[in-house]
Chains A and B, each alone.
Chain A
Amino acid sequence: MKPSGRGIAYLMLAPTIGLLVLFFLYPLLVAARESLYAWDLLTPPTYVGLANYRILWERGELARAFRNTVTYSAVTVAGSMSVGLSFALALDHPGRVAAFVRGAVFSAYVVSWVAVALLFMWLLDGDTGLVTRSLVALGLPKKSWLGDPDVAVYTLAAVSVWKIAGYSMIIFLAGLQDIPPVLHEAAALDGANRWVRFRHITWPLLRPSAVFVATTSLIISFQAFDVVRIMTQGGPVHATELFVYAIYEQIFMNLRVGRASALVVVFSALILGLTGLQLRVWRGKREA
């Protein structure tokens, strides 16, 4: 195509590139610089070298945020993928009921995290929560789902599974649509039962969708914040302090910009590492 003068291209890109640099790239540099200072937002900052990182390391705060985030993400991803896959398999047929249930499950992914978090606080309420009471009625021990430090992070993960299972489900449904029905018909004629067909036809052909869902939901769950802020505020005794919440706490509650920034630097490295992994997996998928 004939160039229509170069100026116009730069003019068209300038607002987008300008805003992206200002709000996505430049902040990373600012965080890297601030992480070398101690600053409480009130008095002038003082240079402290790597002390922020050292303190976070020595106090185990880094390891704790990392451990909690990994636990939460592992359970959320594994849970939402299993639920999403079973729902996709069970709902992959026409009919009003199936369509309605698909819609209901997916709608949880679309409504606000705030609504879901509040709803489950009520359902899991110690004395009067519907879920708590039902579980007791079923003979399970009465537990403080959000107040027990050994349980709380799994409770948050379970709520997140409820929220994002619909996302896995629709990706798997799209994957199922791409499987030619002829494969199943031929296998059925050969006498393959449902499980054999799932094992040898459906699952191998769904693998790319599974990899895609796994990597994207891993990144989503690494960034979790709303459930923590609303349901547990990082407690009890820091048991649900995920990375983003730890950063939030450092800057807005402890007024420690330097330490928050040090956490930001480590967290960006983690996220970029994860997305790097994601890109490699995707490229591998395309070449395969």
Chain B
Amino acid sequence: MKTGSTVGRAVVAVAALGWVGPYLWMIVTSLKTLPELLHEPLALLPKTLTFAAYREVWNTVPVGRYLMNTTVMALLIALLQISLALPAGFALAKLRFVGKGTAFGLVLVCLLIPAQVTFVPVFLLLGQAGLVNTMAGLVLPFGASALGTFLVRQALLSVPDEIIEAARLDGASDLYIVYFLLAPMLRPTLAALFLLSFVFHWNDYFWPLVMTTDDHIRTIPLAIALLREQGSGMRWHLVMAGNVILSAPVLLVFAFTQKHLVRAVTAKGF
């Protein structure tokens, strides 16, 4: 379909309306007041520009703490994954040792097992260890990334051995080589990994739902979902204000890193 095709234009119009529209409706709703919502729920614009819904959400729910919890959790996971995937990927790509095939096979198998399969036993395990409602319980199960290990290994395969040999002759230890020589060379891979992991875990609803019952450790997706469950009556303006708070940071990250994200997702295929 060329730019000029009528069908093509119609499809573009549908895409624009269908995919931008809902975001706009979310924002418009969040700017309305309860009486407006009750009397004219379909008014395309709010009567006056009011951030009352945001203020109410902010005052009734500790949004700041939830945002903090979520950011810390997603950062810890992403950084832990990268710092563990680097040496593991290096060993699998560049070192010779007994059991290498088995280790790589194990990484590949784990690539195929989602958290949705293992959550019951992992929940029981972490419960016995007393890690329910802790940051450790949120972070540890995702500390090692099979995908990250795999991607780092693949990227390192194309780095010539001579670079590593030369660094060793200069007396550099393997750990130094991994973190200070190779890591900077893998910047694009690591950036993609960081983005995917950070955004995925920032958005994650499933694991925090399983692992937390307590308010102090709750993450923002859980808290916003709870906005709808708590209280009764018409509160869509509040829920949509919460929704804006939940999606704005991700959309902002998306706006600045769209190219990288597209490349990461295309390469990874998830």
Is B106 within 8 A of A113, CB to CB? Answer: no
- B residues adjacent to A (C-beta < 8 A): 1-3, 5, 7-9, 11-12, 15-16, 18-20, 22-23, 25-26, 29, 37, 41-42, 84-85, 87-88, 90-92, 94-98, 100, 103, 106-107, 109-110, 112-114, 116-125, 140-144, 146, 149, 161, 164-165, 168, 174-175, 178, 199, 202-203, 205-206, 209-210, 221-222, 224-225, 228, 236, 239-240, 242-243, 246-247, 250-251, 254-255, 258, 261-262, 265-266, 269-270
- Please judge, given known A-B contacts A3-B97, A128-B42, whether A13 and B254 are in contact too, CB under 8 Å: no
Contact A24 B269 (CB under 8 A): no
Task: Kindly list chain B residues whose C-beta atoms are within 8 Å of the C-beta of A27.
Answer: 118, 120-122, 125
- Smallest beta-carbon distance A197→chain B, Å: 10
A2–B247 Cα distance when bound, in Å, is 50
Q: Does A125 contact B (CB under 8 A)?
A: yes
Picked from B23, B121, B224, B225, the residue with its CB within 8 Å of the CB of A261 is B121
CB nearest neighbor in A for B178: A12
Given A114-B225, A115-B224 in contact, is the A86-B250 Cβ separation under 8 Å? no
A-B contact count (CB 8 A): 275
Segment at the interface with B among A52-60, A95-103, A141-149: A95-103
Within 8 A of B (CB), among A81-117: 86-87, 89-93, 95, 97-98, 100-101, 103-115, 117
CB distance from A16 to the nearest CB of B (A): 4
For residue A201, CB closer than 8 A to chain B, the reply is no
Contact A13 B87 (CB under 8 A): yes
Given contacts A20-B144, A162-B18, A229-B225, 12 further A-B contacts (CB under 8 A): A1-B161, A9-B96, A10-B97, A13-B88, A21-B106, A31-B121, A100-B16, A103-B255, A114-B246, A123-B25, A166-B19, A219-B114
- Bound form: Cα–Cα A117–B20 in Å: 16
Q: Give 11 pairs: A residue, B residue, CB < 8 Å, sorted on A.
A: A8-B91, A10-B91, A19-B84, A24-B118, A27-B121, A28-B121, A31-B118, A86-B11, A104-B19, A122-B29, A162-B18
Is A212 an interface residue when CB atoms closer than 8 A count as contact? yes
* A252–B210 alpha-carbon span in the complex (Å): 9
Give the docked Cα–Cα distance between A86 and B18 (Å): 14
Report the bound CA distance from A9 to B98 in whole Å: 10
Total count of chain A residues near the partner, CB < 8 A: 95
Chain A residues with Cβ under 8 A from B262's Cβ? 106, 170
